[in-house]
């Protein structure tokens, strides 16, 4: 693995960004209208910190964007679509899109006037790009897409969806992944709301593509470099999922710490008892360790080390997901019955925290990746 030096101390610029985003999160809080939060974050330039300046972005990278999402989550108002719209779609278009595609989409993704969803998961393939059955075939100057996608976030609020399909290689006859921009009102492009138990503002959808016709310019990047382009979006997705989990874990832990300082039993705050204090300290340590791996993954990606970033991003997503689940569980346990009340707002995180373990790739698949890519063990599949 190629290594890139990363600093363990944030620059003054990053600290200032963290403080500014934390202030925005504190202003809105957990009961805020997520649409209003999204709009203000875009207006202030936080949603586009990773996008090129010439297209309305901040000129930073995934390091800055993951910081924004983490702080929004720590304030209780995480923005799930940040993982999708600026991180995946914005990154892919910025790196591989045509000049026309960049001008059309990037300024809007940066200032929140446009939003884009991302469709990769399928009912029978999960996120396995080698088993995706959504296909795209050429028909004159157009592409024709057919297939299904599931668990696609925010399609109802997105102006378009970046769809992962597969095209046939004329030389080998094999199918290869390619990325297409599909407008929300494209004929043949249907959606069905999937009812979820998770308490989240962003809805999940099943998509159907029935002979969806697209002009040639809706293909993003080089048709022959689809896999490279796909993973250029998936590595930021894993880093951002880690940020999402870290923010949620920090929010839950802060609630528990405040409660443990104030709740008094037998003339002493419950936080003075080691049975309460030690598990909270352990949760804090695990969150901080996961943050370090997330920062390393972001730094590697921003430095152009896609291979190194892939390993680190998977590790960061795994570590943050595990740390988040444990932090939320311990926070609820610290509050006892109050941890399950609507007043304290922690119970809803019990299901929400598990998302970071499951999506966009399960912890078991990450362990598979690390076992054969990092350790050189033979594949089991």
Rounded to an integer, the average pLDDT of 44-63 is 98
Dihedral, 153, 154, 159, 160 alpha carbons, nearest 10: 10
Task: For residue range 65-89, list pLDDT tens digits in order.
Answer: 999 999 999 999 999 999 999 999 9
Structural domains in the chain, sorted by start: 12-116 (1.10.540.10), 118-221 (2.40.110.10), 227-374 (1.20.140.10)
Distance (Å, whole) CA 58 – CA 119: 26
The predicted pLDDT at position 4 comes to 47
* Model pLDDT, residue 2: 40
Could you tell me the pLDDT band of residue 232, with boundaries at 50, 70 and 90?
confident
Residue 316 has pLDDT above 80, yes or no: yes
Q: Distance between CA 352 and CA 369 in Å, rounded?
A: 24
The pLDDT of residue 130 is 61
**For the whole model, what pTM was predicted?**
0.94
When the pLDDT of each residue in the chain is averaged and rounded to a whole number, the result is 93
pLDDT at 197: 86
The model's pLDDT over 7-53, given as tens digits with 9 standing for 90+, comes to 678 999 999 999 999 999 999 999 999 999 999 999 999 999 999 99
Q: How many CA atoms lie within 13 A of 338 on its CB side?
A: 10
The fraction of the chain above a pLDDT of 90, given in percent, is: 85
Q: Name the residue among 164, 35, 184 with its Cα closest to residue 89.
A: 164
pLDDT of residue 312 exceeding 50, the answer is yes
The per-residue pLDDT for 3 is: 43
- CB distance 69 to 243 below 8 Å: yes
pLDDT digits (tens, 9 = 90+) for 209-221: 999 999 999 999 8
């Amino acid at each position: 693995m190629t290594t890139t030096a990363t600093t363990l101390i944030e620059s003054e610029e990053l600290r200032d960004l963290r403080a500014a985003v934390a202030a925005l999160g504190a202003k809105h809080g957990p009961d805020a209208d997520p649409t209003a939060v999204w709009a203000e974050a875009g207006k202030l330039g936080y949603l586009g910190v990773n996008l090129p300046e010439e297209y309305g972005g901040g000129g930073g990278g995934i390091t800055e964007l993951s910081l924004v999402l983490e702080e929004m989550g720590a304030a209780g108002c995480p923005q799930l679509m940040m993982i999708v719209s600026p991180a995946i779609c914005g990154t892919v278009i910025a790196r591989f899109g045509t000049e026309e595609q960049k001008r059309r989409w990037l300024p809007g993704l940066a200032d929140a006037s446009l939003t884009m969803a991302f469709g990769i998961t399928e009912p029978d393939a999960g996120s396995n790009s080698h088993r995706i059955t959504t296909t795209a075939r050429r028909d004159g100057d157009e592409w024709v897409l057919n297939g299904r996608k599931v668990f696609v976030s925010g399609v109802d609020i997105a102006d378009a969806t970046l769809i992962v399909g597969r095209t046939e290689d004329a030389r080998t006859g094999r199918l290869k992944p390619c990325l297409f921009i599909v407008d929300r009102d494209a004929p043949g492009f249907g959606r069905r709301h999937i009812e979820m138990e998770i308490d989240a503002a962003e809805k999940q959808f099943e998509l159907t593509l029935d002979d969806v016709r697209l002009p040639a310019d809706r293909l993003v990047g080089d048709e022959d470099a689809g896999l490279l382009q796909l993973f250029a979006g998936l590595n930021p997705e894993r880093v951002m999922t880690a940020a999402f989990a870290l923010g949620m874990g920090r929010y839950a832990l802060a609630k528990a710490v405040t409660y443990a300082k104030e709740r008094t039993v037998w003339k002493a705050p419950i936080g003075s008892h080691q049975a309460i204090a030690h598990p909270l300290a352990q949760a804090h340590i695990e969150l901080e360790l996961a943050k370090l791996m997330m920062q390393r993954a972001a730094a590697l990606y921003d430095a152009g080390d896609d291979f190194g970033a892939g390993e680190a991003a998977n590790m960061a997503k795994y570590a943050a997901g595990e740390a988040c689940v444990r932090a939320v569980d311990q926070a609820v346990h610290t509050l006892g019955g109050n941890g399950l009340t609507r007043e304290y707002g922690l119970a809803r995180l019990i299901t929400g925290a598990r998302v970071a373990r499951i999506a966009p790739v399960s912890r078991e698949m990450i362990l598979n990746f690390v076992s054969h890519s990092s350790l050189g063990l033979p594949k089991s599949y």
